Structure 1
Amino acid sequence: MTTSCADFRILFVCMGNICRSPTAHGVFEAKVHEAGLAGRVEVDSAGTHSYHVGAPPDARSQKHALLRGYDLSSQRARQLTVQDFDDFDLVLVMDEDNLARAQALCPLQHAQKLRRFAEFFLHHNSMIVPDPYQGGSRGFEQVLDLVEDGSAGLLAHVASQLESRG
């Protein structure tokens, strides 16, 4: 079991952990810091596949994130594990394929922790964060738009959870 002094732990999950989930990780972590919750909320990311384990986020993800003030350069890809469902309060997936793969790994007693990140969107009407890997710049910008929106909703949810925990 991972030891953490954080009160609330969130894991973002996409396919390879080089585009969407590291973007969500970086954006949400920045929002947590801005809200003064850095010591109370821990953020991480993982992929359902092992294609890129140990690799930094995609250069295009890093470039577009940096243009908005988010530095993803210290992150390294890792694969989702069964232990993650013990260690995290929320495991947030980016799309249906990620959900199906994570559900196959998730112990039944932790099923309530596994959710779609899109559930936290405040202004966008989408059920997924689409994979920008095969696309151009617009796809990476769209991911950032969705992630920033979802991060605002998620931050409100986390703040309410922390308040109810005392």
Structure 2
Amino acid sequence: MKSKAPTSELDRYDRHILEELQRDGGLSNQRLAERIALSPSPCLRRVQALEEAGIIRKRVALLDPQRLGLALMVLMHISMDRHTPERFEHFEAEIRRSPEVLECYLITGHDADYQIKVVVRDMAHFQDFLLNRLTRIEGVTGVHSSFVLRRVVDTTELPMY
């Protein structure tokens, strides 16, 4: 099992590594080492330790949905009929199978149980997702959709305090 090192145990090199990799996850070890002013071997050992600790979960390429024809982003609140572990497990398993769903959260503080972020090509695609898949998941009793007009803050970078 991966250890969970708290951020208080990270030194300035670890924090700098995390900052740089959040900006560009494809950096070579050599380039990363240059940016943080450390030689390549200790830099690589630190990156591997951050990965083993689960702090770095994975490195990905961030794609532009607009350029891929995914023009519509929707935030949706989903209400369930029963609040049982089995009902939630079933919903979560079904939602994981939907490539349109970018994020899914079990939430509190609303009249909804889940919030999902969905990206689709257009309104027809959204209608198909909503009526033929989402509302057909057993237990879904309500859906409230909000269409994203503009991204005001769009980052994946976590602050390094």
Confirm or deny a common fold (TM above 0.5): no
Bigger proportion of residues as helix? 1
Q: Which has the larger radius of gyration?
A: 2
Output the TM-score relative to the length of structure 2: 0.24
TM-score by length of 1: 0.23
